[in-house]
Structure 1
């Protein structure tokens, strides 16, 4: 089945969860009803916008000689940056870095891919200096939803060759193992959470599900390659959930608490001898002034201007945070209605999407999008 990803793959991910059968009963006792979300627009405490760096061909992971240096490009992961970062760095970028023979390298960019690439290089015994215009939480990837969706806007269907799929699977599995090793870390940056995916139509109905933004390509179904990494979802009867929808399923998902996770990565990087230099590069020629001879370009959408990459397509994303409710622990995905909710310690994250967000680099906050999403959330509860 081909599908489009309307809201950063979260809805499509949950809707495509391995099913236990449309009429299967829950394999456990009826769960407690989730806590009610106090959804109102006056509880919005923050709204952020980011630009997902999408490339039809998939991430750019290759090296080139430029200005007398070796530049390893590692960017263009669409909505899969956090999710795929450890695997993409270890399997994709690290062999290219090690092939240069340099023991001291520079990483350009301090977002999801840059931070993780720096840590993978350190763990391989390299000395790393990181150059970035911004430091977390000011980086764009702070505004991600924080759900593990390693196939989110990663490539167009036409680019998903068997070789690409094999490499993606290896990266996704490596990333998954890396995150499992972080379970129980101080501050619990990585957790497994239960959640509900809701739908107005049967999940197995022909043509059911989300549809893409105008101009968006078809994306490949990659998650079947790692179906063994996630538990099956379970259908719920109307008396087993509080939502005003016709169909609901319960699923389990891995999530990131992004701000404590960023803090952990930065602290670990500095503890292991990493250097962080705040610098804004206006042109790729400025890289010639750096003392390192091997540079890793992890600038995300910034590579479009810095390295003149015309293949990068911006996909705008807007997220908002409501006042935290510690009692709310369940994820929520409303399929086909532009609604994803991720309970985090810094607030209840609500994602909103505009029909014009594909190929849209605008970082201006559109408050009406968030208000509509919050009002839609409020309408779900009886």
Structure 2
């Protein structure tokens, strides 16, 4: 019983970072419970368009390593897309030049090339990347965690000291702002429009005139975006913003203009100047590992950060290791 107690871990937070971290810990033999205020389907992660790419995340060098490790795993999971929600999909990163891409991308992402005029009007980079359907992936993560012996409890935590476990892993995302407290964590609001897919099979990200537009084909629907409004806490969809998103995407693919709107989504990305992934020894001897502040790249780095967090739990990986 005593050794079992020492093995006990509570992961606070049930989004993609918390669930992935819990999976890695449980599959390494830890006795893990996830405490989450909301089910995975109601977390910010559920709103994500979820194209794999290191987007707006620091420190860049560490994030690149976490992302590449995650890429390894997403490529494996893409062999079972109906189960995992992960597919490898072709698309264009607008305003990007493969010749100017960083060496890590040219070395690791197969088949990077310049887009053709038919694929994109302007300079673009064609790539085949993981695109994750979060409505499938999050429940799959949850089931994988439960199958590894983990448990999930619906609990609202107002102070990390409330969590009675030898090891606590803080994966609370934007909640860390009040919970730690860490005022450097701030929201970056993203709004999406979900429409019926008019037959589009490739993704596209384009940035013109300071605005980012994208569309991601997911099973049975097309996700259109987007926005990145810093320090905006509103979870209410703005009709004018939605109209602008559809208009910008239709300028890229005219068939989008007539697509029936299915849903409006808003999510608050948990941004921070740098991801906080570190181990803290509390005064009572317990271990607290922080894993938050991933902004809009949580899905992209989830597995790499989870493995490093698990190493920090065991005390055998230095920060950034």
Does TM, scored on the shorter chain, surpass 0.5?
yes
Higher relative contact order (CA 8 A, sep 6+): 1
Instruction: Identify which of 183, 189, 204 aligns with 1:310.
Output: 183
* Equivalent residue, structure 1, for 2:212: 338
Aligned pair count?
Answer: 244
Larger Rg: 1
In structure 2, the CA distance between the partners of 1:172 and 1:235, relative to structure 1 (3 Å rule), is: closer
Mapping of residues 67-78 of structure 1, within 5 Å: none
* Equivalent residue, structure 2, for 1:54: none
* Equivalent residue, structure 2, for 1:153: 56
In structure 2, the CA distance between the partners of 1:361 and 1:227, relative to structure 1 (3 Å rule), is: farther
1:270 positional shift: 1.2
**2:230 aligned counterpart, secondary structure:** coil
* Equivalent residue, structure 2, for 1:175: 70
Contact kept? 1:169, 1:226, Cα under 8 Å: no
* Equivalent residue, structure 2, for 1:257: 133
For the aligned residues, what is the CA RMSD?
Answer: 2.5
Residue 275 in 1 paired to residue 155 in 2? no
* Equivalent residue, structure 1, for 2:107: 228
1:255 positional shift: 1.0
Instruction: Please give the alpha-carbon distance, in whole angstroms, between the structure 1 residues aligned to 2:45 and 2:142.
Output: 14
In structure 2, the CA distance between the partners of 1:169 and 1:222, relative to structure 1 (3 Å rule), is: farther
**1:137 aligned counterpart, secondary structure:** helix
Gaps of 5+ in 2: 255-321
Instruction: Please give the alpha-carbon distance, in whole angstroms, between the structure 2 residues aligned to 1:381 and 1:191.
Output: 22
1:320 positional shift: 1.9
1:364 positional shift: 2.5
* Equivalent residue, structure 1, for 2:9: 105
TM-score between the two structures when normalised by the length of structure 2: 0.69
TM-score between the two structures when normalised by the length of structure 1: 0.58
Q: What's the CA shift string for 1:60-103, capped at 9, x where partnerless?
A: xxxxxxxxxxxxxxxxxxxxxxxxxxxxxxxxxxxxxxxxx931
Instruction: Identify which of 240, 246, 250 aligns with 1:368.
Output: 240
Instruction: Please give the alpha-carbon distance, in whole angstroms, between the structure 2 residues aligned to 1:373 and 1:141.
Output: 20
Which runs of at least 4 in structure 1 moved beyond 6 Å after TM superposition?
none
Q: What's the CA shift string for 1:94-117, capped at 9, x where partnerless?
A: xxxxxxx93121110000110000
In structure 2, the CA distance between the partners of 1:256 and 1:381, relative to structure 1 (3 Å rule), is: closer
1:324 positional shift: 3.8
In structure 2, the CA distance between the partners of 1:294 and 1:317, relative to structure 1 (3 Å rule), is: same
Gaps of 5+ in 1: 1-100, 205-220
